[in-house]
């Protein structure tokens, strides 16, 4: 439990309110990730958009992956917006853009092209918010509960997936297969979640750190007083600390060029950030989130809506596992150990699943067999391991490995990598399921073995260390200097001595 001493009750409420509002962006991300797989299996969707079952793999691949492509572009496009107009309005704009895309998706256009365009537009809003939301949250929440509120994003993501899976199952169970509302209700509800995010921003103040960085000091003070619900000496001291920190960071970034990200030891940090998020996607968990019903059809066959029900249970397990991790594990186990161990456990689950599906394929009549139950259990254990390791940890890990001078572009590159490989695997997974079947699980398992080796032998341990200490560590975690160059504080000391 976080130490909340010195915080007012109203200040705590406002901090949690801010975290809950901005992390609707995480809920939106999860809801969209979960909703599309079920929608693409609905006969009314196939009929309304005029494609045949033979074209279903192609449509599924594009419908999911094009949104990730839009999100990848938005990771870079959002930076000038948030730097010029602030965090609050950048998030509101992202929510508005997403609403436009979701409205196009929901409309009865009978055109897959229009649906694809809607997916790309929604992706722009989704990708932009995925960059700004964690930034805004970390800049405004008190240090005593920053880690807890920062974890809201991943928790809300799993809640979004959970909601979408059960909604897909519910409409498929209660509505006729030919009823267009079966797909329009879950798709259209995206507009509601995005509108809640956008309108919720009007209840918040702008980031104190951003206001300070652009010289709007009176507004910055009002913002800090509001979020802390206090204007006493402690809050005044925090304001002074923020001003000093912003000034130091401005000096640290003075003369920065993007090419520095690929110079000296920055090259290793940049490649590590990109590799961590590539590994997150290569576990196979995100692909399973998108295509859960298709995977469960492969495991147990197709009988009624059993694929959607099993996917909904899968979503409930994700929420439970992520909640346990956030509450009891996150700050108590080393990053490197849990990432390596989680990947090995996932590899065992995926390879075992491949072996069972290869030797005991699902019967075509939808009969549930003991082998089918075994594979379901293996996949559920796989998702528990993912939500105890590679689900939540890459986000804080990447934000920790960069020094002040390169932290913002470094995080942007890492998040962009997440969306890029999200695009790659969401584009290829339908073809993998269709063509190599049980080999899909084997491939994810082999990837997981490689990921475990990467985590153990390449990543630096950051748990329990300050950002300054992490900057000086090498990629093996031995404690040797991360860079031969002086740190900013050391250079500043030399200048003052001279």
Number of Cα atoms under 13 Å in the Cβ half of residue 36:
30
Residue with tokens 């960085």: 213
Q: Rounded distance, CA 239 to CA 255, Å?
A: 26
CB 402 within 8 A of CB 410: yes
pLDDT of res. 498: 37
CB 86 within 8 A of CB 211: yes
Q: Rounded distance, CA 400 to CA 163, Å?
A: 31
CB 165 within 8 A of CB 292: yes
- The CA–CA distances, whole Å, from 147 to 65, 138, 210, 291, 498 equal 31, 8, 20, 31, 40
Tokens linked to 284: 């196979």
pTM for this model (two decimals): 0.76
- The CA–CA distances, whole Å, from 449 to 1, 220, 282, 446 equal 34, 48, 11, 5
Q: Rounded distance, CA 473 to CA 55, Å?
A: 51
Q: Rounded distance, CA 82 to CA 258, Å?
A: 18
Residues of the chain falling short of pLDDT 70: 1-6, 146-148, 301-305, 329-333, 364-368, 404, 463-498
Helices marked H in 301-437: 306-324, 335-359, 370-387, 394-400, 407-435
207 — alpha (psi -120 to 50), left (phi > 0) or beta? Answer: beta
Q: Rounded distance, CA 87 to CA 342, Å?
A: 34
pLDDT of res. 147: 63
CB 346 within 8 A of CB 384: no
pLDDT of res. 413: 86
Tokens linked to 468: 């300054």
pLDDT of res. 292: 78
Tokens linked to 142: 């008190």
Domains, the chain, in order of start with CATH, read 16-204 (1.20.1250.20), 261-498 (1.20.1250.20)
pLDDT of res. 199: 95
């Amino acid at each position: 439990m976080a130490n909340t001493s010195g915080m007012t009750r109203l200040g705590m409420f406002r901090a949690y309110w801010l975290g809950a509002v901005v992390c609707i962006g995480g809920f939106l991300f999860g809801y969209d990730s979960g909703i599309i797989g079920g929608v693409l299996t609905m006969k009314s969707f196939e009929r309304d958009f005029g494609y045949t079952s033979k074209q279903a793999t192609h449509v599924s691949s594009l419908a999911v992956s094009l949104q990730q492509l839009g999100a990848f572009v938005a990771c870079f496009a959002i930076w000038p917006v948030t730097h010029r107009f602030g965090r609050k309005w950048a998030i509101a704009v992202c929510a508005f853009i997403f609403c436009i895309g979701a409205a196009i998706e929901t409309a009865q256009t009978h055109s897959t092209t229009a649906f694809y365009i809607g997916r790309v537009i929604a992706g722009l809003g989704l990708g932009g918010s995925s960059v700004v939301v964690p930034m805004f949250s970390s800049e405004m929440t008190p240090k005593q509960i920053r880690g807890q509120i920062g974890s809201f994003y991943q928790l809300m993501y799993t809640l979004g997936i959970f909601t979408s899976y059960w909604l897909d199952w519910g409409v498929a169970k209660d509505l006729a297969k030919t009823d267009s509302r079966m797909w329009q209700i879950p798709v259209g509800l995206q507009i509601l979640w995005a509108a809640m995010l956008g309108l919720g921003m009007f209840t918040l103040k702008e980031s104190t750190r951003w206001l300070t960085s652009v010289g709007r000091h009176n507004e910055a003070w009002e913002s800090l007083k509001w979020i802390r619900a206090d204007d006493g000496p402690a809050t005044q001291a925090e304001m002074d600390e923020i001003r000093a920190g912003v000034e130091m960071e401005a000096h640290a970034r003075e003369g920065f060029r993007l090419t520095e990200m690929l110079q000296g030891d920055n090259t290793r940090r940049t490649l590590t950030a990109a590799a961590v998020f590539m590994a997150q996607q290569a576990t196979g968990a995100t692909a399973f989130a998108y295509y859960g019903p298709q995977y469960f059809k492969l495991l147990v066959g197709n009988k009624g809506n059993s694929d959607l029900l099993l996917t909904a249970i899968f979503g409930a397990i994700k929420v439970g596992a992520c909640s346990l991790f956030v509450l009891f594990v996150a700050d108590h186990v080393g990053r490197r150990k849990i990432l390596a161990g989680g990947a090995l456990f996932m590899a065992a689950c995926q390879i075992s699943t491949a072996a069972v599906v290869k030797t005991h394929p699902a019967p075509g009549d939808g009969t549930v067999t003991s082998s089918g139950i075994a594979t379901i259990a293996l996949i559920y254990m796989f998702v528990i391991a993912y939500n105890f390791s590679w689900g939540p940890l890459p986000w804080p890990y990447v934000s920790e490995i960069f020094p002040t001078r390169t932290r913002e572009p470094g995080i942007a590159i890492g998040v962009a990598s997440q969306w890029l490989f999200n695009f790659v695997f969401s584009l290829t997974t339908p073809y993998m399921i269709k063509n190599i079947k049980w080999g899909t699980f084997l491939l994810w398992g082999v990837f997981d073995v490689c990921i475990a080796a990467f985590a153990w032998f390449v990543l630096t341990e950051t748990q329990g260390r300050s950002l300054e200490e992490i900057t000086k560590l090498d990629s093996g975690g031995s404690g040797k200097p991360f860079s031969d160059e002086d740190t900013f504080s050391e250079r500043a000391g030399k200048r003052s001595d001279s």
